[in-house]
């Protein structure tokens, strides 16, 4: 199986002593043809002409890119516009696809057990909260802050700079030059843009490609597992819950706790409620509690109380009791507007756009984080296969590596965006 065939893993599972079905990390590593990075250390040490790689964006995509560039023998520096401390505030749940986990383990960043929780069953719920259908399917889950911490620890502090916003990109003949909001200028050989779906660099090179609002939002939150009352604890645990209300969808699954705990009692219950919202309703929804008008999302702690109460009332009308309880008891829910984005081109001479900046995939595949990991891994592999960094590499070699990477990732990105769009339109119902 090629790494281009991501998110479709159907290899042999491993049945553990507790009866749960898991996927074996070693089998997945082999299936995804992940390289043996330890065998490359001696070769990497002999690289005498590595790339100076500028990475714009220090969220998940930027961190994956930095790790991959380092493993390929190059010198990355990450510039993140967010000030220190705000990145840790992001605790949303994510689906931990096998290729992402194999990537983390293969580079000694984190073990599966340190990074994930899991579910052993999927329950499709009825209106009273009872399981109408039960699937014995295992799903690995994690949290954004858990993966972020592990990736961040893998990088030296001196190559990760916060509060640095890139506002201008230029390409002289011999590389790339970026200008920061404070007027500082940095030059390098390659710029990797991992700025997310609102990327200013993408707008510079593809001004006609902007995220398209899908017509609904994700209203979501987390709550500590210990806070769940006894009458509902058996409804969550190691269960992936799905409930379809009229024109909306609700799901829950466990994720690691705020400090990364994965044992029972240490975890959080992550919940997501997809709700249709007309365009003219978004302005009111996205006016935060401090009076600032947001455009795409509302972070935890900034939803106005009247908006929160409105969603609690709606939950009372539409949701099973245990799901309504989650909505009511979550003190700091947050909002993400759902978009579609796909670009026809990811390489612009010495500028590469990757992750959500290139393809914003609706969350129904749980593929966003894994896609960022594969973007980064594939780029590192293309550079390595063309000996970029060794003595004597040429501009033509780099052009060839980037062209091959772009072709494979554009194909995958379009496939994922379309599949996520299809699922979302079916789940939410009114489109």
326-347 residue pLDDT tens: 999 999 999 999 999 999 999 9
Assign 284 a pLDDT band (cuts: 50, 70, 90): very high
Whether the pLDDT of residue 134 is over 50: the answer is: yes
- Bigger pLDDT: 369 vs 18: 369
355-382 residue pLDDT tens: 999 999 999 988 888 899 889 989 998 9
What was the pLDDT predicted at 43?
63
**In 3-state terms, what secondary structure has residue 226?**
helix
What was the pLDDT predicted at 113?
76
Distance CA 361, CA 396 (A): 32
Mean residue pLDDT across the chain: 87
Say how many CA atoms lie within 13 Å of 121 toward its Cβ. Answer: 15
Which of 95-104, 145-154, 184-193 has the lowest average pLDDT?
95-104
Whether the pLDDT of residue 103 is over 70: the answer is: yes
What was the pLDDT predicted at 40?
64
Terminal Cα-to-Cα distance of the chain (whole angstroms): 35
Strands (DSSP E) found in 277-375: 297-298, 334-342, 347-348, 351-353, 359-360
CATH classification number, 3-118+139-212+340-428, choose in 3.90.25.10, 3.40.50.150, 3.40.50.300, 3.50.50.60: 3.50.50.60
Distance CA 217, CA 323 (A): 17
Residue with tokens 């979302």: 424
Assign 6 a pLDDT band (cuts: 50, 70, 90): very low
Distance CA 299, CA 109 (A): 28
Chain region(s) in the chain for CATH 3.30.9.60 = 214-338
How is the beta sheet containing 93-95 ordered, strand by strand?
Answer: 93-95, 139-143, 117-119
CATH number, span 214-338 = 3.30.9.60
Residue with tokens 């893998």: 154
What was the pLDDT predicted at 2?
37
Assign 71 a pLDDT band (cuts: 50, 70, 90): confident
Chain region(s) in the chain for CATH 3.50.50.60 = 3-118+139-212+340-428
Contact of 272 with 363, CB cutoff 8 Å = yes
Local structure of residue 106 (DSSP, 8 states): H
What was the pLDDT predicted at 394?
93
Contact of 84 with 152, CB cutoff 8 Å = no
């Amino acid at each position: 199986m090629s790494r281009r065939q991501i998110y479709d893993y159907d290899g042999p599972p491993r049945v553990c002593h507790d009866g749960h079905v898991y996927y074996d990390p070693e089998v997945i590593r082999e299936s995804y043809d992940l390289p043996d990075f330890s065998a490359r250390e001696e070769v990497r040490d002999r690289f005498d002409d590595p790339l100076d790689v500028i990475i714009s964006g220090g969220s998940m995509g930027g961190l994956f890119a930095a790790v991959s560039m380092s493993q390929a023998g190059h010198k990355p520096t990450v510039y993140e516009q967010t000030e220190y401390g705000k990145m840790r505030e992001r605790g949303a749940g994510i689906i931990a696809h096998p290729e992402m986990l194999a990537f983390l383990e293969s580079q000694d960043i984190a073990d599966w057990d340190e990074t994930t929780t899991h579910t052993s069953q999927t329950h499709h719920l009825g209106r009273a909260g009872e399981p109408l259908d039960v699937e014995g399917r295992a799903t690995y889950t994690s949290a954004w802050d858990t993966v972020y911490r592990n990736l961040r620890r893998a990088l030296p502090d001196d190559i990760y700079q916060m509060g640095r916003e890139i506002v201008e990109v230029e390409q002289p003949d011999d590389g790339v030059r970026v200008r920061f909001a404070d007027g500082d200028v940095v030059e390098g050989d390659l710029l990797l843009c991992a700025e997310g779906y609102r990327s200013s660099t993408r707008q510079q090179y593809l001004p006609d490609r902007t995220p398209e609002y899908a017509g609904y939002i994700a209203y979501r939150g987390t709550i500590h597992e210990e806070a769940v009352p006894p009458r509902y604890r058996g409804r969550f645990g190691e269960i992936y819950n799905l409930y379809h209300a009229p024109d909306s969808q609700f799901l829950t699954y466990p994720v690691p706790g705020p400090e990364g705990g994965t044992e029972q009692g240490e975890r959080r219950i992550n919940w997501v409620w997809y709700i249709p919202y007309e365009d003219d309703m978004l302005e009111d929804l996205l006016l935060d509690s401090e009076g600032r008008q947001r455009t795409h999302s509302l972070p935890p702690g900034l939803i106005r109380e009247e908006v929160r109460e409105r969603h609690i009332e709606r939950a009372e009308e539409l949701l099973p009791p245990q799901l309504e309880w989650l909505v009511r008891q979550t003190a700091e829910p947050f909002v993400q507007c759902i978009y579609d984005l796909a670009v026809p081109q990811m390489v612009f001479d010495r500028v590469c756009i990757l992750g959500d900046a290139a393809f914003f995939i609706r969350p129904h595949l749980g593929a966003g984080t894994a896609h960022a990991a594969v973007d980064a891994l594939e780029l590192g592999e293309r550079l390595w296969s063309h000996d970029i960094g060794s003595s004597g590499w040429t501009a033509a070699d780099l052009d060839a590596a980037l062209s091959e990477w772009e072709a494979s990732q554009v194909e995958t990105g379009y496939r994922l965006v379309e599949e996520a769009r299809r699922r979302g339109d079916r789940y939410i119902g009114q489109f």
